[in-house]
Amino acid sequence: MKLCYCPTAAGLELVLFGNAGPLFTGSLAGLIAHGVKPALVIIDSQQSRDPHDARLRPVVEGSAEGYAFEAGIDVVHSSPRNRAQLHARLAQRQPALLVVACTDFILDHRWLHLARLASLNVHPSLLPRYRGPAPLFWQVKNREPEFGVSLHVMTDVIDAGPVVGQSPVAWRRDRSLSELEHSIGHEGGRLVAELVDQLSHGATVRTHDQCDMQASAARRPRPADLGLDTTRAAREAFQIVTTLGQAYGPWWATTDRGRLLIDAVLGHNDHNHEPGVVRGGDGLFELGFADGCLRVRGRLTE
């Protein structure tokens, strides 16, 4: 697939669509930092509400609305209540690019064909690995040595469209999930800005198809996926829980005294414990791993 654009005096119009989370916010920040201002920012929510209510809320610095306000970019709030009107507005506007960065709203073919050139997605993994709604959870849980971001053309098959560009993203293991998402989004914004620059100068950009044989899925985690493996190192468990937090639900571990539900991790050490052996009480415990132990706040259940 090839992307090409005939430059005009008005410039290439780009619309950014997504929720107000850190991946979306990072993408907007990355675009602005690299000299690209979207013509319109659409902040989507799955909750039905009056989009005019957003005008009454203060703009928070460092939020998506904050970045847009500082850059003089128009912001529209989208929800099931006004999506039909928003679709009609975009159909009339016909932006050159529609860029999506994290939303629970699945855009079907009616939305994907609104853009004159392409609808693109900023996906937080190096595709075709970790296609799906929870790529960062599985990358952190699986202790992947490298993270990254992919900019790809959106098709009817989620996260499977031709790739425009990819980039690895370095991060420290002590970063939170929101910090990681923001960094990945910022690099995704850079990829979009690079594409806009190439197209605006009349270049033809070639994409490459994903190899389905190398694809892996990143489904939404289930409660069973939040169990900690005590046959591994306590340090690994500490880093996983510290990064992901409670975003996907409570973590737990099977112990010699029943299931331990973990409300918070307090630290880890190299004290020798048997895997799965728990000590302590009154909400404070030391959980043994194959290498060290984890200090946690939690409660035991049968």
What is the DSSP pairing of strand 14-18 with strand 97-100?
Answer: parallel
Q: How confident is the model at residue 22 (pLDDT cuts 50, 70, 90)?
A: very high
Residue 292's pLDDT band (boundaries 50, 70, 90)?
Answer: very high
State which residues form the domain around 70: 2-214
Task: Report pLDDT digits (tens) over 124-183.
Answer: 999 999 999 999 999 999 989 889 999 999 999 999 999 999 999 987 777 889 999 999
The pLDDT value recorded for residue 59 is: 55
Give the residue with greater pLDDT, 272 vs 133: 133
Question: Is residue 209 located within the same domain as residue 227?
Answer: no
Tokens of 39: 């013509």
Cα separation of 66 and 195, whole Å? 25
Among residues 180, 214, 248, the one where a domain terminates is 214
Give yes or no: residues 154 and 66 share one domain.
Answer: yes
Mind spelling out the 3-state secondary structure of the chain?
A: CEECCCCCCCCCCEEEEECCCHHHHHHHHHHHHCCCCCCEEEEECCCCCCHHHHHHCCCCCCCHHHHHHHHCCEEEEECCCCHHHHHHHHHHHCCCEEEECCCCCCCCHHHHCCCCCEEEEEECCCCCCCECCCHHHHHHHCCCCCEEEEEEECCCCCCCCCEEEEEEECCCCCCCHHHHHHHHHHHHHHHHHHHHHHHHCCCCEECECCCHHHCCECCCCCHHHHECCCCCEHHHHHHHHHHHCCCCCCEEEEEECEEEEEEEEEEEECCCCCCCCEEEECCEEEEECCECEEEEEEEEEC
Which residue among 171, 193, 214 closes a domain?
Answer: 214
Residue finishing a domain among 196, 214, 232 = 214
Provide the CATH number for the domain around residue 58.
3.40.50.170
What is the structure's pLDDT at 10?
67
Residues 145, 288 within the same domain: no
Q: Are residues 236 and 158 in the same domain?
A: no
- Asked whether residue 156 falls in the same domain as residue 264, the answer is no
Residue 170: predicted pLDDT:
84
Q: Is the same domain home to 201 and 253?
A: no
Same domain, 61 and 158: yes
The verdict on 181 and 268 lying in the same domain is: no
Regarding whether 198 and 253 lie in a shared domain, the answer is no
Count of domains observed in the chain: 2
**pLDDT score of 50:** 55
Looking at residue 239, its pLDDT comes to 92
Taking only the tens place, the pLDDT of each residue in 235-247 is 999 999 999 998 8
The answer to whether residues 258 and 187 belong to one domain is: no
Tell me, yes or no, whether 269 and 127 share the same domain: no
Mean pLDDT of 185-190: 98
Task: Identify whether residues 122 and 54 lie together within a single domain.
Answer: yes
- Predicted local distance difference test score (pLDDT) of residue 56: 46
> What mean pLDDT comes out for the span 193-216?
96
Which pLDDT belongs to residue 271? 80
The confidence score (pLDDT) of residue 279 equals 94
pLDDT in tens, 58-93: 556 689 999 999 999 999 999 999 999 999 999 999
